[in-house]
A and B are shown apart, each in its own frame.
Chain A
């Protein structure tokens, strides 16, 4: 009897199933409650009219209306460049900070601090400093570089700035975490083999950093895609930064059209899934193994 159960356990272990995995059960149940159920409920709600008649009318209305449909392009126009910039800026900084650097802890703390501020505080700060009567414009005018204040808030620039200030720290931490694991001897080996600094980065460091970079990009994209507070506070929520989450909010809480709001939420989910899925597809073709030159 004990032998039987043991062999079953061994068989499961061979397939990577182990008793510890049962610890995931509560987490899975919670995920089901918090995610799967609302998703299915929303999906059901989205395929009926406000009166309860089934049909895909909500989707047709959304895609048929220019004003609504354009929110998709506006959201992508913010989320993709914001994610790319956040990750793009993180790469050289993580590359510089990956080894032993003097005052590394102070530098990382300063760089990561904005993440603790929260969107609302950042938005307030942006308005105060970069608004028409903020000190930045005042300063430029005082020096005489400009005659009239630059429009830096309540538009695309304001939202982008907010997305970078709040999103960059997370990207940096993710990329840095991955880059720090790269064995420094690999770069030294490349140098003794005749590769100069840029070739070492291109042929050794970047390929080994890529898995971390793609993860950081996906998370940065998802965070930026759902942008709402900054799009309202430092953007132009009826114009160029009327992102898809604003459309969903208005449907739900201004027109009380829950089926429509659900349909928009479903569209958001599908779009994010498409981007995340394609990034992971690319990632699965990259090298993802160990980042050290020694046998583990």
Chain B
């Protein structure tokens, strides 16, 4: 496996201000050579801005970016030797696929025979042999995406930047190409920074995740860490904790907290930085709820860490159903179950205390 071309990319206190809007605030991140880092966050959180700052396409307001100790932020994009894959691919419509892939090599005055060989190899790596004479408009979306990839990797860039490269494709193609991206990253020893707003894409591709919001990162960690130990309620929401229920903190014991949800329902959960505030947020994944027999019509009689509720909406999803139910006080609860439940039915759902995370209310 080829060695990565850089040891360490350091982003230090980078800020970007558009007019009076702060798109990035004191953003710092270290990336090791060969790493696959995903920037994840909702629309408008500054992911593309960070990527464009790295590529040199937008100037920094402040901060510095360096590679192995050399500052690169003053360099124009054409001198950074990074590859970039754009969301809409940005293939040159007037050039055929071969010329598109050869574009960067021609800029570098590489010899003609070498260009031909390297273009053929790059098209092979993205499995597009034989399409060199087609024009971009004659390719499918998935093929265009591969051309964009080939055009970037043919230059053997020291860093690959990808801005939502799969978001214009249908779900099946997306999973397929996801595997290919990861394969290319490993086979070619690339260092990759990947922007996405799709948590499953980020979790499956990246070695490390950076969850962003409003121009700052909230959590940096391995997919497993971010998934199981989200730093706050916002990250939790992004990681699939669909139930975010405001609650009051009652008491604490051995890292566990007792919280009171609306109308006297108390539950036990893990303290995740809920500090000593009274107002907290309880986070539970829909799949962590299990349906237990409801103890008659009497609300309080259900077992520990369970809520009694009335089924409102059932979405059939094959193996399972996604259910929205309403508990006392208008509380909405989302859970998944393999059991058959019907709209209007009274059920009780239970969650293990280790799966109920308690965060500070104001993230």
Instruction: Using CB atoms and an 8 Å cutoff, list the residues of chain A in contact with chain B.
Output: 183, 185-186, 188-196, 199, 203-204, 207-208, 287, 289-296
Whole-angstrom distance between the Cβ of B123 and the nearest chain A Cβ: 16
Chain B residues with CB below 8 A from A292, complex form: 88, 93
| Complex Cα spacing A199 to B139, Å | 26
Does B27 have its Cβ within 8 Å of any Cβ on chain A?
Answer: no
* Choice from B82, B94, B151 contacting A289 with Cβ under 8 Å: B94
Also in contact, A185 and B86, with CB within 8 A (given A191-B78, A289-B135): yes
- The residues of A that contact B84 with a CB separation of less than 8 Å are 188-189, 192
Interface centre among B55, B93, B151 (most CB of A within 10 A): B93
Quick one: closest A residue to B139, CB to CB?
Answer: A295
B5 within 8 A of A: no
Instruction: Contact check, B88 vs A293: say whether CB atoms are below 8 A apart.
Output: yes
Q: Can you list 30 A-B pairs, Cβ within 8 angstroms, ordered by A?
A: A185-B90, A186-B90, A186-B92, A188-B55, A188-B57, A188-B77, A189-B84, A190-B103, A192-B80, A192-B82, A192-B83, A192-B84, A192-B152, A193-B151, A194-B81, A195-B103, A196-B76, A196-B78, A199-B107, A203-B103, A204-B92, A207-B94, A287-B93, A289-B93, A291-B93, A292-B88, A293-B86, A293-B90, A293-B93, A293-B136
A192 and B93 in contact, given A183-B88, A185-B88, A199-B107 (Cβ under 8 angstroms): no
| A292 vs B91: C-alpha distance when bound (angstroms) | 8
Name the residue on B nearest A292 (C-beta).
B93
| B144 contacts A by Cβ under 8 Å | yes
Give, as a whole number of angstroms, the nearest-CB distance from B248 to chain A. 50
Which residues on the B side are within 8 Å of A189 (C-beta)?
84, 86, 90-92, 151
The interface residues of chain B lying within 8 Å CB-to-CB of A191 are 56-57, 76-78
Q: Would you give the shortest CB distance from B217 to chain A, in whole angstroms?
A: 24
Given A188-B57, A295-B144, is A195 in contact with B78 using a C-beta cutoff of 8 Å?
Answer: yes
Which B residue sits closest to A195, measured CB to CB? B107
Q: Which A residues are in CB contact (< 8 Å) with B108?
A: 194
Given A207-B94, A295-B141, A192:B55 Cβ within 8 A: yes
* Chain B contacts for A199, CB-based, 8 A: 107
Most chain B CB inside 10 Å of its own CB: which residue of A183, A190, A295: A295
Q: Is the CB of B94 within 8 A of A208?
A: yes
A289 and B96 CA atoms in complex are apart in Å by: 12
Q: Which residues of A contact B86 (CB under 8 A)?
A: 185, 188-189, 293
Q: Is the CB of B94 within 8 A of A287?
A: yes
> B241 interface residue, CB < 8 Å from A?
no
| CB-CB under 8 A for A289 and B137, given A189-B90, A192-B82 | yes
A189 and B103 alpha carbons, distance in the complex (Å): 10
Contact A293 B78 (CB under 8 A): no
A199 to B135 alpha-carbon distance, docked (Å): 21
Q: Which residues of A contact B247 (CB under 8 A)?
A: none
Nearest 7 interchain pairs by C-beta: A193-B104, A294-B88, A287-B94, A293-B90, A185-B90, A189-B90, A191-B77
B→A interface (CB under 8 Å): 55-57, 76-84, 86, 88-94, 103-104, 107-108, 135-137, 139, 141, 144, 151-152, 155, 161, 168
> What B residues does A193 contact at CB under 8 A?
78, 103-104, 107, 151, 155
Q: Is the CB of A183 within 8 A of B141?
A: no
Beyond A188-B77, A294-B88, 8 extra complex contacts between A and B, CB < 8 Å: A186-B90, A192-B57, A194-B81, A195-B103, A196-B76, A204-B92, A287-B94, A295-B139
Nearest Cβ on chain A to B165's Cβ, whole angstroms: 12
Q: How far apart sit A199 and B78, CA to CA, in the bound complex (Å)?
A: 11
For A289, list chain B residues within 8 Å (CB).
93-94, 135, 137
Bound together, the chains give a CA A290 to CA B161 distance in angstroms of 26
Q: Evaluate contact between A293 and B91: CB separation under 8 angstroms.
A: yes
Q: Which A residue sits closest to B84, measured CB to CB?
A: A192
CB distance from B42 to the nearest CB of A (A): 22
Q: Report Cα–Cα, A204/B106, bound state, in Å.
A: 13
Question: How far does the alpha carbon of A222 sit from the alpha carbon of B57 in the complex, in Å?
Answer: 41
Are B90 and A183 in contact, with the CB atoms below 8 A? yes
How many angstroms from the CA of A194 to the CA of B84 in the assembled complex? Answer: 11
CA distance A192 to B58 in the complex (A): 12
Contacts of B139 in A (CB 8 A): 295
Chain A residue numbers with a CB within 8 Å of B56 are 191-192
Residue of B nearest to A189 (CB): B90
Give every chain B residue within 8 A of A192 (Cβ-Cβ). Answer: 55-57, 77-78, 80, 82-84, 152, 161
Q: Contacts A192-B77, A203-B103 known; A290 to B155 CB distance under 8 Å?
A: no
Residue of A nearest to B58 (CB): A188
Instruction: Report the bound CA distance from A143 to B56 in whole Å.
Output: 49
Query: A295 vs B138: C-alpha distance in the bound complex, in angstroms?
Result: 9
A283 to chain B, nearest CB (A): 13
A200 to B155, CA, bound (A): 17
Q: Note all chain B residues with C-beta closer than 8 A to A290.
A: 93, 137
Q: In the complex, which residues of chain A have a beta carbon less than 8 angstroms from the beta carbon of B88?
A: 183, 185, 292-294
- How far is the CB of A67 from the nearest CB of chain B, in Å? 48
Instruction: Give every chain A residue within 8 A of B79 (Cβ-Cβ).
Output: 194
Taking a contact as CB atoms under 8 Å apart, the answer to whether B107 and A293 are in contact is no
B77 contacts across to A, CB distance below 8 A: 188, 191-192
Chain A residues, Cβ within 8 Å of B93: 186, 208, 287, 289-293
Beta-carbon contact of B89 and A293 below 8 Å: yes
Q: Which residue of A lies closest to B94 (CB)?
A: A287
Residues on B with beta carbons closer than 8 Å to the beta carbon of A186: 90, 92-93
Measured between beta carbons, the chain A residues less than 8 angstroms from B83 are 192
A294 contacts across to B, CB distance below 8 A: 88-90, 168
In angstroms, how far is the closest chain A Cβ from the Cβ of B52?
8
In the assembled complex, the CB of A209 is this many whole angstroms from the nearest CB of chain B, namely 11
A189 to B79, CA, bound (A): 13
When chains A and B are docked, how far (Å) is the Cα of A292 from the Cα of B56?
A: 22
- Expressed in whole angstroms, the minimum distance between the Cβ of B101 and any Cβ of chain A is 10
